[in-house]
Amino acid sequence: MNKFIAISALMAAFVSANALAADANLTFNGAVSTGTCTMNAADATKTLVIPDVSSSSLANAGNTAFTSYSANSTISFTGCPAEVSNVVLSSASGTGTTFGGDTSRQTPASGTATGVHLVISSGPRVVDYLRPGVARSFPVSPSGTVKVPVYVGVTADITSSSAFAAPTAGNYSSSYTLTFSYS
Amino acid sequence: MRNSQILKSFLATALFSSALCANAADDSVVVNVSGSITTATCTIAASDVNKTINIPVSLANDLQNASKLTPVYFSFGISNCDSSKTNAVATVAAATVASDVSGYGSNSVIANTGSATNVGIGLIGATSVGATPSGPLPVGTQSAAATLTQVGGLSTTSGTLYLGAQVVPLSKAVSSGAGSVTGTATVTFTYS
């Protein structure tokens, strides 16, 4: 009886030593498809016009200006094959200049207004801001379609942690290129 | 002096006879002891010990002739190494199949357990294991080395090793069939 116990204890020690032999475990998921989703051709170019706003209103709205002074649209995908479960907005690059160290904000590429910057996002909230290196996934519906929301908004330039300077009046414009992939 | 020697001899006899008694009355017990002395090792970041890697959807047309492969990169945080360790290499183990894609070969790619046909999961990291790893890495072959350095005055070394994974055709000339691609593997690190 005692001998049996000694042997089984040794076996257990060997089993656990074996299980520890690998340092990491990997699980891979992918898919092969004969096609991807079809992007609605009419959505390939979008023109979004942000409503006019006074200089003082924009400054007073501070960081939340984006939720009020914005325009939005959707980009539609249809005919997604069963293997495609997500349409991924993998990058959004703008023609403007990165504002300070905040890669989610850009000074508009052209226009006469100064002291404003633009943000692009996949929703109406600040947390939806798009910035380089951040991908967003949009699940494909059972019918094989996806609508990706796109918002653009304007805010006054931040002068300190909480202060916003009043912009000078004028027009502004910029362009963004969105790139999608499938997963 | 002499008295004490006699006393010792008495005690020894008494102990010996009691041991004999025990032996006669019961089973004997064998205690086997085993163990191993290991070389100093490193710590893999807890979040990297069990990783799920999502590879982008591959188009059958792109896989044919391996004309366009879409790798995804993943990393392992390595820390707490003995300061004598300045390099880390990874070796992946998995159920394998052969692929005729350049850089792979027999028993070189992870077998697909999903429904897609004529595909496997090929690893990357034979030439470089930096943020954008490169070089087809056959399963079972050591990766390139990641550098481990002492950071912030610590007495230990640390670093990051990146690998890549991509869906590859098993036979380039053959069209791959649509479906899921899944597989599992284990990684062992060696330090020097």
Burial class (CB in 10 A: 0-12, 13-18, 19+), B151: exposed
Q: Which pLDDT tens digit goes with each residue over A83-128?
A: 888 999 988 889 999 887 788 889 999 999 999 999 999 988 888 8
* pLDDT recorded at residue A160: 65
- Look over chain A and give the mean of its residue pLDDT values, rounded to a whole number: 83
- Give the helix/strand (H/E) hosting A4: helix A2-19
With an 8 Å Cβ cutoff, are A30 and B48 in contact?
no
Cβ <8 Å between B189 and A23: yes
Contact A34 B48 (CB under 8 A): no
Give which of B45, B66, B56, B84 is closest to B162, Cα–Cα. Answer: B45
Single-letter residue type at A56: S
| Residues A26, B176: C-beta atoms closer than 8 Å | no
The kind and range of the H/E element at A12 are helix A2-19
Residue A160 lies in a domain: yes
Q: Which domain holds residue A85?
A: 38-182
Q: Is residue A8 part of a domain?
A: no
d(CA B160, CA B177): 36
- Bridge partners (DSSP) listed for residue A129: A121
- Its pTM surpasses 0.80: no
Residue A6 lies in a domain: no
pLDDT tens-digit map of A128-160? 888 877 889 999 999 999 999 999 999 888 766
CA–CA separation, B97 and B126 (whole Å)? 18
DSSP string covering A58-80, please? HHHHGGGHHHHSEEEEEEEEE--
Number of domains in chain A: 1
- Establish if A73 belongs to a structural domain: yes
CA A86 to chain B, closest CA, distance in angstroms equals 9
**CB atoms A32 and B56 under 8 Å:** no
* A30/B57 CB distance under 8 A: yes
Q: From the list A25, A35, A182, which residue is nearest B50 (CB)?
A: A25
Cα separation of B99 and A22, whole Å? 25
The pLDDT, as a whole number, for residue B81 is 93
Chain B neighbors of A1, CB-CB under 8 A? 27
What is residue B2's predicted lDDT score, i.e. its pLDDT? 46
Q: Where are the alpha helices (DSSP H) in chain B?
A: 2-25, 46-49, 60-63
Contacts of residue A153, defined as CB under 8 A and 6 or more positions apart, other chains included, come to A50, A65, A66, A67, A69, A70, A71, A118, A119, A121
Whether B161 has its CB under 8 Å from any CB of chain A: the answer is no
**Percentage of residues in chain A having pLDDT higher than 70:** 86
CA distance B78 to B55: 23
Over the stretch B18-62, which tens digit does the pLDDT of each residue have?
444 444 456 777 888 887 766 668 999 999 999 999 998 899 989
pLDDT digits (tens, 9 = 90+) for A50-73: 999 999 899 888 877 888 899 999
Judge whether A19 lies within some domain.
no
Instruction: Report the pLDDT value the prediction gives residue B117, as an integer from 0 to 100.
Output: 96
Q: Is residue A141 part of a domain?
A: yes
Low-confidence ranges of chain B (pLDDT < 50): 1-24
Does some domain include residue A130?
A: yes
- Out of A21, A32, A183, name the one closest to residue B63 (CB): A32
Confidence check on the interface: ipTM exceeds 0.90, yes or no? no
